[in-house]
Amino acid sequence: MIVKTRDGTRIVKKYDKFATPYERVLNSPWIDCTKKDELRKVHEALDLYKLKSNIAHSQELLVDIQILKSKSKGGVLNLLQFDFE
C-alpha cells in the first residue's frame, strides 16, 4: 500500500503495482547488492519444468503411500525415491 487517505467516512487506499516476493527483494533499498546478485544467480538456475515434474512425482508418491497405509501397515519406505538433482 502506498497511500491511505480519509475522505469523511470513506477510506481510499492506493496500492503499488503487483510484484512477486522475488521482485520486491530486488527492488528493496535495504538489501545488499551482493545478496541481490546471488539471488539472481539462483533464480536464473531454476528449471521450472524440472521443479514441476518433481512436485508432481512427489504428489504421486504421497498418494501411493496413503493407499498402502490404508491397505496395510509397513512396507512404505521403499517407495521414497526422490531425484532432486
> Within this chain, do residues 4 and 41 fall inside the same structural domain, yes or no?
yes
> Within this chain, do residues 62 and 32 fall inside the same structural domain, yes or no?
no
> Within this chain, do residues 25 and 51 fall inside the same structural domain, yes or no?
no
> Within this chain, do residues 85 and 53 fall inside the same structural domain, yes or no?
yes
Measured CA to CA, the distance from residue 70 to residue 52 in angstroms comes to 27
How many domains does the chain fold into? 2
Task: Confirm whether pTM is higher than 0.75.
Answer: no
| 36, burial (CB in 10 Å: exposed 0-12, middle 13-18, buried 19+) | middle
pLDDT at 1: 74
Measured CA to CA, the distance from residue 52 to residue 21 in angstroms comes to 19
Helices (H) and strands (E) in the chain, counts: 3, 2
pLDDT in tens, 13-56: 888 888 899 999 999 999 999 999 999 999 999 888 999 999 99
